[in-house]
């Protein structure tokens, strides 16, 4: 099956970062050559990604009601996200990422609200492949991922929608199914549960379906799921993928009229996206990735549109690479 036999640079072609999951952004859940994809980095190799994202919204869901940003105009969120993926063993990868985020809103801005800027959350993840099986000329792989993130700086989480993140530790477990046909078409399914902790606000009272006289806010846990359909072209040098992602909080309150969102909100989100990935022929190990996504339905979240562009570079950090590697 020639489409499974390629130089190890194939792995680095699948890099992309999670796009904006909701208005009160969860610490980044990575996508593609990350804890959420269907590939593995070969042992003793590393892939560095530098990714820039620009997202904005001028409408948001207050509960289930879609409203226009009359006060804060168009909110923009820009993220520079360096990440590294390392192959520890042939079936075990580690991932480390640290996004730098800048938020703002356009003029006129009713309250002249200032945005925020700084490092968000340190993300660390392990991915393990526990099944790889040929089914005729196709291939099935099953993966499991454990990831942890925690705020890297002491940013204010209770400053929606300008906050850099949720300001809470998060632990996630993911299961991934990846099925690829001989023709290069593939299907990926992912399901995850996100456990979140508490975040501290700069106030000693808040309302969350009742009054709380404390600065500590309980951030809701959530379920995250995704299905993706894609294909490799031109001897696995170009990839096109379409995906659909959903997020469902397990608890939380609704944003109230004339009140800002807060970390305790129940956030649901449906998002569609398209990814284009290209591996260059003029410089070994170099790749480029572009992604566009749009939130199409939600609850207590912004109607984000997001464009992401990134460069990847893969290299062997211990010894010379084998020119032919089984990337799955």
Contact 115, 151 (CB under 8 A): no
SS3 assignment, position 120: coil
In the numeric block, the tokens 């980044």 are attached to: 28
The neighbour count for residue 64, using CB atoms within 10 Å, is 11
pTM: 0.85
Give residue 27's pLDDT.
37
| Predicted pLDDT of residue 216 | 98
Q: Return all residues near 128 (Cβ < 8 A) that are at least 6 apart.
A: 91, 92, 143, 144, 145
What is the phi-psi region of residue 166: left when phi exceeds 0, alpha when psi lies from -120 to 50, beta otherwise?
alpha
Contact call for residues 303 and 61 (beta carbons, < 8 A)? yes
CA distances from 227 to 94, 140, 175, 186, 187 (A): 23, 15, 12, 11, 7
Residue pair 247/304 in contact by the 8 Å Cβ criterion: no
Return averaged pLDDT per consecutive 10 residues of the chain, 328 residues in all. Answer: 36 33 37 68 91 96 93 93 93 96 84 88 96 96 97 96 96 97 96 98 94 97 97 91 98 90 97 94 90 98 97 83 43
The pair phi, psi for residue 9, each rounded to 5°, is -65, -20
Delineate the domains of the chain, giving CATH numbers in brackets.
2-318 (2.40.160.40)
Kindly compute the dihedral angle of the four CA atoms of residues 231, 236, 239, 244, in this order, to the nearest 10 degrees: 50
Distance in angstroms (rounded) separating the CA atoms of residues 166 and 27: 7
């Amino acid at each position: 099956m020639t489409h499974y036999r390629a130089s190890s640079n194939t792995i680095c072609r699948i890099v992309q970062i999670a796009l904006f999951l909701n208005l009160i952004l969860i610490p980044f859940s990575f996508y593609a050559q990350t804890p959420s994809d269907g590939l593995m980095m070969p042992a003793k190799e590393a892939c560095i990604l530098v990714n820039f994202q620009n997202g904005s919204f001028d409408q948001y869901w207050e509960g289930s009601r879609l409203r226009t940003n009359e006060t804060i105009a168009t909110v923009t969120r820009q993220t520079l996200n360096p990440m590294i993926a390392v192959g520890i063993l042939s079936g075990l990868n580690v991932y480390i990422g640290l996004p730098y985020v800048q938020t703002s809103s356009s003029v006129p801005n009713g309250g002249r609200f200032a945005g925020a800027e700084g490092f968000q959350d340190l993300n660390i993840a392990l991915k393990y492949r526990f099944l790889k099986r040929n089914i005729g000329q196709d291939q099935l792989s099953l993966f499991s991922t454990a990831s942890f993130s925690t705020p890297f700086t002491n940013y204010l989480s209770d400053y929606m929608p300008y906050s850099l993140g949720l300001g809470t530790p998060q632990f996630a477990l993911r299961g991934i199914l990846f099925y690829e046909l001989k023709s290069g078409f593939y299907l990926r399914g992912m399901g995850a549960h996100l456990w979140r902790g508490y975040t501290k606000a700069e106030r000693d009272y808040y309302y969350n379906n009742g009054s709380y006289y404390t600065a500590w806010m309980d951030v809701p846990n959530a379920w995250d799921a995704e299905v993706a359909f894609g294909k490799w072209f031109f001897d696995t040098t170009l990839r096109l993928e379409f995906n659909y992602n959903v997020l469902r909080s397990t608890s939380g309150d609704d944003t109230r009229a004339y009140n800002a969102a807060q970390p305790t909100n129940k956030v649901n989100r449906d998002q569609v996206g398209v990814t284009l990935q290209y591996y260059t022929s003029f410089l070994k190990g170099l790749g480029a990735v572009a992604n566009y996504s749009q939130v199409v339905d939600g609850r207590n979240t912004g109607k984000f549109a997001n464009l992401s562009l990134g460069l990847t570079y893969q290299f062997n950090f211990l010894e010379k690479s084998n020119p032919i590697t089984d990337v799955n």
